[in-house]
Structure 1
Amino acid sequence: MKRVGKVFFVGAGPGDPKLITVKGAEALAAAEVIVYDRLINKELLNYADKNANRIYCGKTPHYPSISQESINEIIVEHAKEGKTVVRLKGGDPGIFGRVGEEAEHCLDNGVPYEIVPGITSGIAAPAYAGIPLTHRDYSSSFAIIAGQKRKDHDGDNINWKELATAVDTLVFYMGVKNIGTIQSQLLLNGKDPTTPVALVRWGTYERQETLVGELHNIVDLVEQHQFQSPAIIVVGEVVKLRGKLAWFEEENSRDVLLREAINL
């Protein structure tokens, strides 16, 4: 009887390749097949054996992409060949990573699997921008929300009335395109117009950028600066801390200036 392989659903972290877990890096090193997403840092593939089969299954907005059903089949097909498969996902597999669907498909096909958590961008990107999601003076709770709905679902599945005032800090993924809806719904449901808002683009990468405003003017600022995805949106008083705690972009700026001075 042919041996069935095993699937490892590995969180790649938010972008900085050093933020992958030790267990995730070990899984990559042992992988015979790697099925990876668009937003992972390609440097992570250096952990893999040079003979490992690398299969790109990224989804690009507004462009034809491989279906989720096809990705499910690719994972299971290679595992049934007796291979060790790593499904490498940006951030954490369980935070908008569809790991539930893919793990269910493995289970339905008798393929063993393991989930290796990763650092999700909704926590890492704000941290690199100097914005902790909790703080004793500002926030004792936060919520993570998908900033866009499924294309095959009608209506809005977010309870804006409760969400606007239920927690101190709101973190939206994939929300830049719908920033106008996010703004209007929060204002309509009782959020203070002067609530600080930050958008962190390409969080933890060297090219990280942060845009800060308030709820009443954030849409205008996004349009003015042509701020585009991928970005995390943080809404809450903790954004005020960025003025004191920002470290990464400032450090990167110093590094760039130093490199330029050395090359003069």
Structure 2
Amino acid sequence: MNKNRIKTELLVHDLKNPIAVIEASADMLIRNAERENPLTERQIKALTRVIRNSRIAMSLVNDILEVGRSNEGILNKGTYRCFEYIVFPFVEIFDLIDPEIAERISRAGGYKAFIEILASQGVRLEMDASLWEKEIFLDVRKVRQIIRNLLSNAFKYRKKEVVVEISLDDNNLFISIADDGKGIEKEFHKKVFERYFQLGDEREHCVRGHGLGLAGALVLVEDMGGRMTLESEMNRGAKFSVSLPLGR
């Protein structure tokens, strides 16, 4: 392990601890209030925001760690069923949007229940039901993070719907995630994959932020020997497609 990797992991460790404490403390205040001192609606909303933003911060920290590992070519492949790659990213995303929906997704227990919950939230999953239990040999953490980062981007810009397509052939796992938002100007098609580059909420001008989402996803995809493409036209949304070669 080189010095830069050690520094990154130490920094991530130092950041994770206070973030976890903040989230746990806010959660404890809400739970204790139910039994002891009731909180006002405004106080509960404020604490809920603390919890959600703590989770966002933790996701960003995990992005930094995983991208750092990818830069060193570290892969941890294993055999997992298809749903084990797919479900967790949705739980993470909805945990930031609506924790009750996240809980329902985590307990869905099967393909039909899973797609029905997603459909109720404006997400259309196009995947053959036979893939749900299919075993796939890949780095599950990296695949989950790729899906989460692309979902996060799609939810940020969608108007009404997000479409997720999952398919498989003998050599590759295919993932595509599309939103029905305003779309991305052609001049930004390469820039959106740059670290810390973000588009404005209306996708009319670029703004700098702390986003590693698309850049991080691209690093992970390429580290696994895969490919990511973008299809987008103004007023027709954006579709990010990923192909990942299956491990042997």
Q: TM-score, normalised by structure 2?
A: 0.25
**Higher RCO, 1 vs 2 (CA within 8 Å, ≥6 residues apart):** 1
